[in-house]
Amino acid sequence: MKLYKDNMANETPLMQFSVGQSHTIACTGRSGTFVWGWNDYGQCAKDPFLVDEVIIRQSKNAQIDLQKFSRKQMLPDEQEKPVRAKQILAVEDRCIMQLQDASTNDLIVFGGNERGQLGLGHYKDVYEPTRLTFFSKQNLVVSSFAAGGNLNLVATETGEAFAWPFTMQG
């Protein structure tokens, strides 16, 4: 896929990329977010049972509207602001994002979750961007995050570290 074709041509400059096992997420300077590649667990923010193809190839199909998906999850004073990503991460079968200029410090997650790797308290795959509210409920500010395999790590501004999912093997 040539990145300058279709809808992405109007969304330049491209500011961030992250590559997962079989999908890619990109964010632009104009609040555009695109996820393309293999979508079997919803890691491209599309319900694989409702779309015609499992592999998202064209940028017009890859664009996700964070404003639309998260409007119902946003606070009233956030709803008029453009939604921009501060940090993005595509890993294995999921995506994790942190938004800039948000009044909360929640992470945004979607994709595979059969082992609880999204941290939402259940084991169902998630097909649209969803707030992970654990950190804001604890009054913690996320400073960075990383992930690999099924493991997610978060560091907070107070120096605390969090990892999930928890398993009996450690």
- CATH fold of 6-138 reads Methylamine Dehydrogenase; Chain H (2.130.10)
Cβ-count burial 66-97 (b if 16+ within 10 Å, e if not): bbebbeeebeeebeeeebbbebbbbbbbbbbb
| Total-model pTM | 0.79
Cβ(41)–Cβ(125) under 8 Å? yes
pLDDT of 119? 93
pLDDT of 85? 79
3 pLDDT higher than 70? no
pLDDT digits (tens, 9 = 90+) for 82-131: 667 788 899 999 999 888 765 557 898 999 999 999 999 999 999 888 88
> What residues does 130 pair with on adjacent strands?
109
pLDDT of 35? 84
DSSP letters spanning 48-88: TTTSS-SEE-SHHHHEE-HHHHHGGGS-GGGTTS---EEEE
As given in the structure block, the two tokens for residue 86 are 């501060």
| Domain locations along the chain | 6-138
Q: What is the CA radius of gyration of the chain?
A: 15
62 pLDDT higher than 80? no
55 pLDDT higher than 70? no
Cis-peptide, bond into residue 165, ω within 30° of zero: yes
